[in-house]
Amino acid sequence: MPVVLKINPQKKVVHSTFFGVMTDREILEHSNTIASHPDFRPEFDEIIDLTMVTEPRVTSTGMRQLADRQSIFQTSSKHVIVAPKDLSFEKAAEFKGMSETSRPNLTVARSAAEAYRILGLE
């Protein structure tokens, strides 16, 4: 499944948009892609957009592995998962519960507009 990564240094935000089928492998490898990007800074906030995901094949085991990893972002960074579809929203909410220690500022939103409001990017 493709992932489009955009980093806006002026707004201090990392924006990842996932497409198609989303698997454990993609979510576990994506932090390496972000961390290796020349514009990435750990103090930035993050938007993970699942709007274009057609089939979330992410398992509880994969989400737990990611949640148990130390985040590449600072603890103070805000993370917003955009999940307008019910199944993606349920998976994102499950991940939020698993990530309370590693990503204490994680929120799940139904729209990009809501994510921008949460991050103060309106």
Counting residues of the chain whose pLDDT is more than 90, the rounded percentage is: 98
Confidence of residue 103 (pLDDT cuts 50, 70, 90): very high
Residues whose CB is less than 8 angstroms from the CB of residue 105 and which lie 6 or more positions away in sequence, other chains included:
75, 76, 77, 78, 79
Domains and CATH numbers, the chain: 3-119 (3.30.750.24)
95: left (phi over 0), alpha (psi -120 to 50) or beta: alpha
pLDDT of 3 > 80? The answer is: yes
How do residues 33-73 score in pLDDT, each as one tens digit?
999 999 999 999 999 999 999 999 999 999 999 999 999 99
**Does the structure show a pLDDT above 70 at 1?**
no
| Torsional class of 83: left (φ above 0), alpha (ψ -120 to 50), beta (otherwise) | beta
* pLDDT (0 to 100) of residue 122: 78
Using pLDDT thresholds of 50, 70 and 90, give the confidence band for residue 88: very high
- pTM greater than 0.75 (yes/no): yes
pLDDT score recorded for residue 15: 98
